Amino acid sequence: MTEITTEIEDSVEDTRLPRRLKEEVYGTIEDREVTPKEASEIAAAVESRYLDTRIDPLDPVGTVSAQSIGEPGTQMTMNTFHYAGVAEIDVTQGLPRLIELVDARKTPDTPMMTVHLEDEYAEDREKAHEVVWSIEATKILALGDISTNVADMLVRVDLNEGTLAERWPTAEDTEEVAIEIADIIEDSLGVSTARDGMAIEFGPEEPSYRDLFRLVEELRDVTFKGIEDVNRVVIRKEQLAPGREEFVLYTEGSAFGDALEIEGVDASRTTCNNIHEIYRVLGVEAARETIIEETMNTLEEQGLDDVNVRHLMLVADIMTNDGTIQSIGRHGISGSKDSVLARAAFEVTVNHLLDAAINGEIDDLNGVTENVIVGKPIKLGTGDVDLRMGAARREDQASEGDGEEARAD
Amino acid sequence: MVDVSQHNLVPEHSVLDNGGVEAVLEDYGVDRTDLPKITRRDPALPDEAEVGDVIEIRRDSRTADNALVYRLVVDS
């Protein structure tokens, strides 16, 4: 109800608040009856509260983050599989997923992609299906029946015309598709094929039962269309903004780089839950963003959304600090600490001590763990602040009592 | 190839000139090598960036408005 006058604006802009908080202050003032004087008091109060809540120098932020993520971790499900979130797609959730993220596993247990579509594809179910078929891996069993003719040493594939027309919506006629399929069989199995309409026949060069059955086995694994790593695609209509519905695809299995190249895929919004794939395709900053997003979603899914996102940001920052993705743990961050004692205290004690002895390593005793081991005060918080007195001035001002001269170092 | 910089997850990367680098290092009180790193082959790196350059990244922060962070380009 209050209009934001220049006077109010001045008093808010004068504070050291970040933009986001300033906007919130404006919003609150606008909603109520506030005089300019009260507005400036509000701004001052918010500012002092903001400065109060900032982290103090020497605060052990890492330890606080570790506990803030670790405690909710104890309340998470141990169940790996859970059909939550997305329609019928298995996604690893809870603690196993969190562990997988901080361990920076090369491939997650259940890789998946969320594929957003470009405008015309997103609104039309037919067009969206075109994209589905170019992503989902099509194997021979989906296209027709395989039979083996042992007498003539032949494998016979009877293609289903309806399926071909459905899966190759852009092709002129199914005959062409059948030729294409025959070609793929020739290329990938190294045999020559004979085609008659929708039937394709081929056999081993020399009559041999073993080769015949081997061909059938190999044929089952050939990908005729789509991306090999994507087993299944689920299509869902979602309301992303009021009055704007669009089709979104969820895939079981992921191949992020390949998916972005497909026509109709919106390469600016499509994401994937494999942080290494994101790193390879989009770089380290995107990987950091994905780590935060994925850990936060994992916690939220379990109703633990009151974990402050700053803790997760710190974890992601540390994991991507050296320009690649490092795991938390022996093979990553903890294993690359400077201090021998800190590494030895973590895991595989003897190996670290032995290697350090062989290489003549020196421990500067700067960290927490090593100082606990040797029983020195830890250089954190008040442990790293000394009181000093300016010796020169003490002489002349001894009588006045110069408490001010003590300074934090 | 897709244009990586168009993706929502990729913040704006730009090469910082020498004056800018000095100011940043002065401000934080650190050496160039203390900065977080970014590898030379990072897909989001601007084309003109070379090893030893400092990249300014303008993140859309969750907690503040925009966050400026810096990464040093390193080999490998």
User: What is the number of domains present in chain B?
Assistant: 1
Pairing of strands A112-116, A144-149: unpaired
Alpha-carbon distance of A192 to A185, in angstroms, equals: 8
> In chain B, which residues touch A (CB < 8 A)?
1-4, 6-11, 13, 36-39, 42-45, 57, 59, 62-66, 71, 74
| Residue A234, in any domain of the structure | no
Same domain, A311 and A359: no
Structure tokens at A310: 């700053």
> What CATH number did the domain enclosing A368 receive?
1.10.150.390
User: What is the number of domains present in chain A?
Assistant: 4
- Best of A261, A284, A295, A322 to disrupt the B interface by mutation (most B CBs within 10 Å)? A284
Taking contacts as CB-CB distances below 8 angstroms, the residues of chain A near B74 are: 323
Taking contacts as CB-CB distances below 8 angstroms, the residues of chain A near B71 are: 284, 323
| Residue A256, in any domain of the structure | no
Alpha-carbon distance of A61 to A64, in angstroms, equals: 5
| Residue A156, in any domain of the structure | yes
| Residue A81, in any domain of the structure | yes
Q: If you measure CA to CA, which chain A residue comes closest to B46?
A: A283
Same domain, A156 and A217: yes
> In chain A, which residues touch B (CB < 8 A)?
18-20, 260-261, 267-269, 271, 278, 280-286, 289-290, 292, 309-310, 313, 317, 320-324
Same domain, A151 and A214: yes
CB neighbourhood size of A71 (10 A): 11
Measuring CA to CA, which residue among A29, A56, A235, A283 is closest to residue B40? A283
State whether the Cα torsion A402-A406-A407-A408 is positive or negative: negative
Same domain, A330 and A343: no
Asked if B67 and B61 touch (Cβ cutoff 8 Å), the reply is: yes
| Residue A66, in any domain of the structure | yes
Domain that holds residue A280: 56-106+273-336
- Dihedral pair phi/psi, residue A194, rounded to 5°: -115, 130
Q: How far is CA A384 from CA A305, A376, A379, A387, in A?
A: 34, 11, 4, 10
> What CATH number did the domain enclosing B25 receive?
3.90.940.20
ipTM: 0.94
Same domain, A143 and A90: no
* Ordered per-residue pLDDT tens for chain A, 409 residues: 777 778 888 888 888 888 888 888 888 888 888 888 888 888 889 999 999 988 888 888 988 999 999 999 888 877 655 555 555 777 888 888 899 999 999 989 889 999 999 888 888 888 888 888 888 888 888 888 888 888 888 888 888 888 888 888 777 788 888 888 888 888 888 888 888 878 888 888 787 888 888 888 888 888 888 888 888 888 888 887 777 788 888 998 889 988 898 888 888 999 999 999 999 999 999 999 999 999 999 999 888 889 999 999 999 999 999 999 999 888 888 888 888 998 888 888 999 899 999 999 998 888 888 899 999 888 888 888 887 777 776 555 555 544 444 444 4
Q: Pick the last residue of a domain from A192, A221, A250.
A: A221
Same domain, A217 and A195: yes
Domain that holds residue B9: 4-74
